[in-house]
Structure 1
Amino acid sequence: MKPITSKPKSRNISLKETGTPPPYFFQAEARGLELIRETETIHVPAVYHYDENEQGDAWLILEHIPAGTPSSLTTSRLGERLARMHSQGGESYGFDQPTFVGEILQKNSMGPSWVDYYRDERLLPQLRRAEADGKLQGDRRKRAFHLLDNLDKWIPENRGSSLLHGDLWGGNWIAGPGDTPYLIDPSVFYGDRLMDLSFTELFGGYPRNFYEAYQEHFPLPDYYEEVKPLYQLFYLLVHLNIFGESYGSAVDRVLRPYTSTKG
């Protein structure tokens, strides 16, 4: 049995459980929530307990957050507090244990190079998975690997390491009581904060005041618009691998301006 990280404040808890998950599936989520909580910048549900048994069942017990009504104040606070979380930098890039995006295992390592980490631990595994499943062929394959070979031309090296949520689509935050935003379901690692911001814009985006509040507390660099598609590429590849060719055209749109099929 795994230790309880904090005692429940009430009987209101949330139970997440699943059969035959990947090993350490909930352990990775629990650790990510605790790392975010330790920054003291943005709220997350408290982690009470996680476990897995020999039969492959697993569960995670979290603080239950009563549903609030999202407002402009909630999303403004979300932007401000995410900026404060991102301002707490790490000394290197990556993470010291495997994590998951969906239920896809992500191997990790820690190192001094952001470009190396993003290429080798994020893009390359998704490309290899797509290639093995027949979703990366022809021009798409040539463009993708040309991009990998030249990634340092478009992504600035070592522009600061931040603790990232890692899976910041619009469903991974909730409004709690009192206009308080909470982050949920993280896949944390240390990297370029622009990767978190890029994903918020991929599927519809967050409200404008979220970005205004973020910008006020941690201004975005001038090159954000240039690298945004390259960071969104990772999440599009994940969707390609999970959901199929309906995301293929979006992958191709990202690859086309940056790459060449020559050579």
Structure 2
Amino acid sequence: MRPVGGGDDGDDGTGERRRDPVTGTMAERLTALLGREVRQAARAGRSHDWDIAYAELADGTRLFVKALPREAEPSGVFTAEARGLEWLGEAPDSPVLTPLAWDERIVVLPWVHECEPTPQAAERLGRRLARTHLAGAGSFGAPWPGFIGPLPLDNTPARDWPRFYAEQRLRPYLRRALDNGGLTPTDARIVERVVDGVEDLAGAPEPPARVHGDLWSGNVLWGSRDAVLVDPAAHGGHREADLAMLALFGLPYLDRVRDAYNEVAPLSAGWRSRVALHQMHPLLVHVCLFGAAYRTTALEAARAALRGG
């Protein structure tokens, strides 16, 4: 972390030190929010539509901060993130990183000193993820409006997973991908076959699991002993979805994670044939966010889902 004492941000060209309006205000805001003195904050760039910063308490404790720019109107994204982290954290031995403080414009998390992943940490992650899933949910969806990255996520509670997945996880992002040109109408017909056939592709019914919902490898932070999870799109969902997303972009020691998971909560028969089905949602989200760069991968997953693996 680059120290920026008291929000100071260099010379303004007149020989006077000018105050950084982002980090200076943020240090003051964090002090009020935490009830503890924050002596410095340092900007570290942007992620989607919000500012990323590191901060340090007077006692040297480090913090990670996400905040809306001052000109941005609150969308509910930080409320969804914080409520999701707290809800996931209610599960026994949950691996999520619980927020220290939050409001509609800011989320404050403990700093994680990242280390190299180890097989032992991967196995512990698998067991802890299984116990989190087994904590369950009252329904598919969640009692708060959801987001995945900056995009809204329909969390209207539902009892039937196949229709929930089709209508609240696939179809909205298919429409958005068509609107932004990431998919063509011909492409959409392939995805629509998945949407229309979810009941036949879904496998045996499962109760709602307490899922992270956006569990790609970048949301797994490997600490000095254990891996912790951040940035969820938490909801009651299908537990295979978290594992499928870990496989989508690659996670170190994924086989160790999955084997340890199976020790605690064995996956249902045929789970491998459904990996592509569960990957359809995050891939459509990527097409919405990044355009046609993810078109080929999304269509390959759709065809694999229709084949059953």
Aligned counterpart for 1:201 among listed residues 219, 222, 247: 247
Equivalent of 2:92 in 26, 40, 46: 40
Structure 1 contact 45–65 (Cα < 8 Å) conserved: no
Contact 1:113 1:157 in 2 (8 A): no
**CA distance in 2 between partners of 1:158 and 1:92 (Å):** 13
| 1:203/1:26 CA distance change after superposition, 3 Å | same
Aligned residue number for residue 15 of structure 2: none
Once the two structures are TM-superposed, the CA of residue 156 in structure 1 deviates from its matched residue by: 2.9
Q: Which has the higher contact order (CA 8 A, sep 6+)?
A: 1
- Structure 2 CA distance for partners of 1:210 and 1:6, relative to 1, 3 Å: farther
Pick one of 50, 56, 68 that aligns with 1:18: 68
Question: Secondary structure in 2 aligned to 1:126?
Answer: helix
Q: How does 1:81-96 map to 2 (within 5 A)?
A: 81-96=128-143
Query: TM-score scaled to structure 2, two decimals?
Result: 0.75
1:116 is aligned, of 149, 157, 163, to 163
Q: Which residue of 2 aligns with 1:125?
A: 172
Amino acid at match of 1:227: R
In structure 2, how many angstroms separate the alpha carbons of the residues matched to 1:153 and 1:22? 40
Question: CA shift at 1:234, angstroms?
Answer: 0.9
The CA distance in 2 between the partners of 1:47 and 1:255, in whole Å, is: 36
Residue 253 of structure 1 and its aligned partner are, at CA, apart by 1.3
Residues 52-90 of structure 1: CA distance to partner in whole angstroms, max 9, x if unpaired?
4xxxxx221122233344222111111111111111122
Aligned partners of 1:241, 1:181: CA distance in 2, in Å?
29
Q: Which runs of 5+ in 1 are unaligned?
A: 53-57
- Cα deviation for residue 4 of structure 1 reads 6.5
Q: Compared with structure 1, are the counterparts of its residues 206 and 22 closer, same or farther at alpha carbon in structure 2 (3 Å cutoff)?
A: farther
Deviation at 1:7, TM superposition (A): 8.8
2:6 is matched with none
Q: Secondary structure at the match of 1:167?
A: coil
Partner of 1:245 in structure 2? Answer: 292
Offset at 1:143? 1.7
User: What is the total number of aligned residue pairs between the two structures?
Assistant: 254
In 2, Cα distance between the equivalents of 1:205 and 1:68? 14
Q: Give the SS at the match of 1:43.
A: coil
Gap change, CA 1:44 and 1:5, over 3 Å in 2:
farther
Structure 1 outlier segments of 4+, above 4 Å: 3-10, 257-260
Structure-2 change in CA distance of 1:67 and 1:259 (3 Å): closer
Instruction: Please give the residue correspondences for 1:52-131 in structure 2 after superposition, counting only pairs within 5 Å.
Output: 52=104, 58-131=105-178
How far residue 163 of structure 1 moved from its aligned partner, in angstroms, is: 0.3
Q: C-alpha displacement at 1:259, in angstroms?
A: 5.3
Give the gaps of 5 or more residues in structure 2.
1-28, 38-56
**Identity among equivalent pairs (%):** 30
- Matched with 2:209 is 162
Matched-pair contact (CA < 8 Å) for 1:6–1:47: no
8 A Cα contact 2:177 2:291, kept in partner: no
In structure 2, the CA distance between the partners of 1:121 and 1:157, relative to structure 1 (3 Å rule), is farther
Are residue 148 (structure 1) and residue 148 (structure 2) matched? no
Residues 213 and 5 from structure 1, CA distance in 2 versus in 1: closer, same or farther, beyond 3 angstroms? farther
Answering whether residue 82 of structure 2 is matched by residue 30 of structure 1, we say yes
Deviation string 1:149-169 (CA, Å, 9 cap, x unpaired) is 221111136312110000111
